Amino acid sequence: MQKVDRNKELRQKALKALSSISKDDKSPIRNLVFATTIEKANEYLNGMISEFKYKEIKIIQRNENEFKVEMVNGDTYRVVPATDGCNGHRCDRVFVDSAISLDFLNQTIKPHLCSSRLPKEEQIVYFD
Least confident of 42-46, 49-53, 58-62, 68-72: 49-53
pLDDT score, position 117: 85
Number of domains within the chain: 1
**How large a percentage of the chain has pLDDT more than 70?**
81
Mean pLDDT of the chain: 85
Instruction: Assess if residue 103 is contained within a domain.
Output: yes
Q: What is the mean pLDDT of residues 27-55?
A: 93
The residues facing 30 across adjacent strands are: 76
Domain residues for 71?
30-127
C-alpha to C-alpha distances, 109 to 58, 71, 93, 104, 112, nearest whole angstrom: 27, 23, 10, 7, 6
Asked whether residue 113 is assigned to any structural domain, the reply reads yes
Residue 50 has pLDDT above 50, yes or no: yes
Q: From CA 83, how far away is CA 75, in angstroms rounded?
A: 24
* Residue 75 contacts residue 62 (beta carbons within 8 Å): no
Asked if residue 6 is part of any domain, the answer here is: no
- Cα gap 119→39, rounded to integer Å: 29
Residue 46 resides in a domain: yes
Q: For 115, which DSSP code?
A: T
pLDDT digits (tens, 9 = 90+) for 113-122: 977 889 999 9
pTM (2 d.p.): 0.80
Q: Is residue 95 part of a domain?
A: yes
The H or E element spanning position 13 is: helix 2-19
Q: What is the pLDDT of residue 10?
A: 67
**pLDDT at residue 18 tops 60:** no
Q: How many other C-beta atoms are found inside a 10 Å radius of the C-beta of residue 29? A: 20
Q: Confirm whether 66 is domain-assigned.
A: yes
Q: What is the dihedral of CA 128, 108, 33, 64, to 10 degrees?
A: -110
In a domain, 111, yes or no: yes
pLDDT of residue 1: 46
| Cα four-point dihedral sign 118, 121, 124, 128 | negative
Q: What is the pLDDT of residues 67-109, one digit of tens each?
A: 999 999 999 999 998 888 787 788 999 999 999 999 999 999 9
pLDDT of 40 higher than 50: yes
> Is 11 within the bounds of a domain?
no
